[in-house]
Copies of this chain bind each other. A is one copy, B any other.
């Protein structure tokens, strides 16, 4: 019952789609390209997804949901605000390093989503940023809310620079480098 599901065909398609979208942009990949990369061709994708936009929507909604859900769980487990900040940063950098293409697509191509999914993703992302902002406010109650929100957003901007980086540095080194930088940046907010 709790065994891990083997990856379905849809998941494989989504994974290669994420890589192609990350590399060339949503509009830079045709369904023919995408099909070819999956070993099938063009219109066969429509047996699995109703449209090209639906693929983008599915991948972006699901990662936004996962980021938020796990983020909330980590905050709940934390001993206090400082602990929670560290936990959120660690979670985000762990996710970003493990899913580089998705991170790239999420902050480059979210505007190509259909209206409904775009709103959903925006709402999830906003809740996710607010999760971090709330911990900053818990630490420094006199911090203006707008400043806390901007600081949280800036921290994620730092962490999301990850996937664009070359591979001249090991993942482990990059992980601690980025996490330390983000925590230091957030610590400087008064």
Instruction: Name A's B-contacting residues (CB within 8 A).
Output: 24-25, 27-28, 108, 111-112, 144-147, 149-151, 153-162, 164-166, 168-169, 173-174, 177-178, 180-189
CB distance from A142 to the nearest CB of B (A): 14
The quantity of this chain's copies bound in the complex is 2
B153, A165: Cβ atoms under 8 Å?
yes
Contacts of A180 in B (CB 8 A): 188-189
Cα distance A155–B178 in the bound complex, in angstroms: 10
Q: Can you list 21 contacts pairing A with B, beta carbon distance less than 8 Å?
A: A25-B112, A27-B28, A28-B111, A146-B169, A147-B169, A147-B173, A147-B177, A150-B168, A150-B169, A150-B177, A153-B161, A153-B164, A154-B161, A154-B162, A157-B158, A157-B160, A158-B161, A180-B189, A181-B189, A183-B188, A185-B185
CB distance from A61 to the nearest CB of B (A): 20
Contacts of A173 in B (CB 8 A): 144, 146-147
Other than A158-B158, A158-B161, give 5 A-B pairs with Cβ distance below 8 A. A25-B111, A149-B166, A155-B181, A157-B159, A185-B188
Cα distance A166–B126 in the bound complex, in angstroms: 11
Cα distance A153–B163 in the bound complex, in angstroms: 11
A178, B154: Cβ atoms under 8 Å?
yes
CB distance from A92 to the nearest CB of B (A): 13
CB distance from A155 to the nearest CB of B (A): 7
Q: Which 7 pairs, one residue from A and one from B, show the smallest C-beta to C-beta distance?
A: A157-B161, A184-B188, A158-B158, A27-B27, A185-B185, A181-B185, A146-B168
CB distance from A161 to the nearest CB of B (A): 3
Which of A111, A151, A154, A180 is packed against the most chain B CB atoms within 10 Å? Answer: A154
